[in-house]
Amino acid sequence: MINLETPKKFRLFVQQANQVADNFLRSNSRKYDLAEHAYPKELDLLASLVDGMSDSGQSQGAGAAGVRRDENGDEKGKVKNGTNMSSVLSIIEMCWGDVGLLLSMPRQGLGNSAIASVATDEQLEKFKGTWAAMAITEPSFGSDSAAITTTAVKDGDEYVLNGEKIFVTSGERADSVVVWATLDKSLGRAAIKSFVVPKSLPGIRVERLEHKLGIRSSDTAVIVLENCRVPAENLLGSPEIDTKQGFAGAMATFDNTRPLVAGMAVGCARASLEVVRDLLEEQGIEIDYDRPAALQSHAAATYIQMEADWEAALLLTLTAAWLADNRKPNSMEASMAKAKAGRVGNDITLRCVELAGTLGYSETELLEKWSRDSKILDIFEGTQQIQQLIVARRLLNLTSTQLR
């Protein structure tokens, strides 16, 4: 049975994450939102602390390193709350502080999540300590990862990569990029693999940085690969093309990373709810859970509805993480969590701006910033529409060819 209360062994850890979010992230939130593309130097100390906790085994799964499934899990069938759950809980707290700064933390990029999810033990050791961005999207497509045109051609002990990637989070600051490329376009989705590409290699360059609506403290880059030669051992997972498995192997990465993005949306939305509740109480507006919403003020009724949506998103997110920790299939649940949290996260932050009036629209509060930051959480790692499509395929037992 799933118990979605915060596990006792994680409560102190969650409290510490909240303190870090308050003292390190939220306190610098406005500063780096205004100074777009400036590197947040305050994060170096925080990243060193997380690295130290990971090396000592006391991190409880903090950060990107926590998304790896434990194939040596408890074989007696006992319920387990492991690194996926603790990673989601820590990310919720950190994004209660600031989403952009969390995404800017060294060695905690989405590429690190991909490495942690699918790399072999030898690759985990080889890439230990790297800061990896994730490069999937291209100018010709957005969420349809199967449409990748970046090529990887085997040449001796190396692969030669050519292509262009856009909207690469931490693309400039990271020292490696996990690049998704196809080994053979004629074989379709099954031939898509991911490669760890150190930016020190010839043939990979940052073309430009994007100016964005939100998460402005996080750099987003366009990356070009021109005859970039990558060691063959940098291909994550198996180099074999399994046409029976198709795209499932590559997409398995998202089963672990989508709950993390859902957690980002949950944390950001919670921050907005807490501020708005304080503002409403200051104005004498009471939120009474013992009375029907229809008998309360519009502001109170709206708040209760938002809080219900937020809790649904939280529970879906924790469910997806719990399933991963207990070695159960969670592809549909990961997409459900991402879809619900992404949508209501953005909806809640925008409605909080509305409820707060002029305070919501000004820089006096962080509400307007959170509404801007939350939009990307409904887009990256698969848009709202893609998540709904994945859920529909799972429910109807249809393939991607049968239901587009």
The residue among 30, 33, 88 whose CA lies nearest residue 64 is: 88
Interval 42-48 mean pLDDT: 88
* pLDDT tens, position by position, 247-269: 565 677 788 889 999 999 999 99
Share of the chain above pLDDT 70, in %: 90
CA distances from 225 to 171, 172, 189, 361 (A): 13, 14, 21, 41
As a whole number of angstroms, the distance between CA 95 and CA 266 comes to: 8
Q: Give the phi and the psi of residue 240 in degrees, each rounded to 5.
A: -70, 140
Please tell me the predicted confidence (pLDDT) of residue 64: 54
pLDDT number for residue 176: 97
Q: Looking at the predicted structure, is the pLDDT value of residue 397 above 70?
A: yes
Torsion sign (Cα): 396, 314, 59, 198: positive
Per-residue pLDDT of 192-236, as tens digits, reads 999 999 999 999 999 999 999 999 999 999 999 999 999 999 999
Place of tokens 């509805």: 305
Q: What is the three-class DSSP state of 400?
A: coil
For residue 256, what is the DSSP state?
H
Q: At 53, is the pLDDT very low, low, confident or very high (cuts 50, 70, 90)?
A: low
Provide the pairing of β-strand 204-209 with 220-231. antiparallel
Q: How confident is the model at residue 58 (pLDDT cuts 50, 70, 90)?
A: low
d(CA 206, CA 398): 39
Those residues whose C-beta lies under 8 Å from the C-beta of residue 218, and which sit 6 or more positions away, are 99, 100, 101, 103, 104, 169, 170
- Residue pair 130/303 in contact by the 8 Å Cβ criterion: no
Closest to 112 (Cα-Cα) out of 54, 41, 28: 54
Q: What is the pLDDT of residue 25?
A: 96
Residue 238's pLDDT band, with cuts at 50, 70 and 90, is confident
Give the global pTM: 0.93
Task: Give the pLDDT band (50/70/90) at residue 48.
Answer: confident
What does the pLDDT average to over 126-153? Answer: 90
Q: Indicate the DSSP class of residue 212.
A: -
**What gap in Å lies between CA 182 and CA 122, rounded to an integer?**
23
| Per-residue model confidence (pLDDT) at position 145 | 75
- pLDDT at residue number 162: 98
For residue 97, pLDDT over 70 is answered with yes
Average pLDDT over residues 157-167: 98
Q: How many CB atoms lie within 10 A of CB 164?
A: 17
Q: Are 87 and 66 in contact (CB under 8 A)?
A: yes
Query: Domains of the chain (ranges plus CATH)?
Result: 8-126 (1.10.540), 132-234 (2.40.110.10), 248-396 (1.20.140.10)
Tally of CB atoms within 10 A around 50: 21
Can you tell me the distance from the alpha carbon of 134 to that of 137, in angstroms, rounded to the nearest whole number?
A: 9
Residue range 259-283: mean pLDDT, rounded: 97
Torsions phi, psi of 81, nearest 5?
-115, 105
Mean pLDDT of the region 52-67: 55
Does 246 or 67 have the greater pLDDT score? 67
Q: What is the C-alpha separation between 172 and 165, in angstroms, rounded?
A: 13
Task: Indicate the pLDDT class of residue 75, thresholds 50, 70 and 90.
Answer: low
Q: Which one is predicted more confidently, 399 or 376?
A: 376
* Strands 158-169 and 192-198, bridge-based pairing: unpaired
Residue ranges in 22-106 assigned as alpha helix (H):
29-34, 42-56, 83-97, 99-103
pLDDT of residue 141: 86
What pLDDT, on the 0 to 100 scale, is given for residue 188?
83
Residue 369 CA to residue 363 CA, distance in Å, equals: 8
Distance CA 369, CA 101 (A): 13
How far are the Cα atoms of 61, 110, 175, 317 from residue 82, in angstroms, in the given order? 8, 19, 29, 14
CA dihedral for 136, 141, 145, 151, sign (positive or negative): negative
How far is Cα 80 from Cα 22, in angstroms, rounded to an integer? 29
Beta bridge partners of 168: 221
Q: What is the identity of the amino acid at 250?
A: A
Active site (catalytic) residues: 381
Question: Looking at residue 248, what is its pLDDT?
Answer: 60
Q: Give the pair of three-digit tokens for residue 148.
A: 């990748």
Instruction: Give the dihedral sign, CA 375/103/218/249.
Output: negative
Assess whether pLDDT exceeds 70 at residue 8.
yes
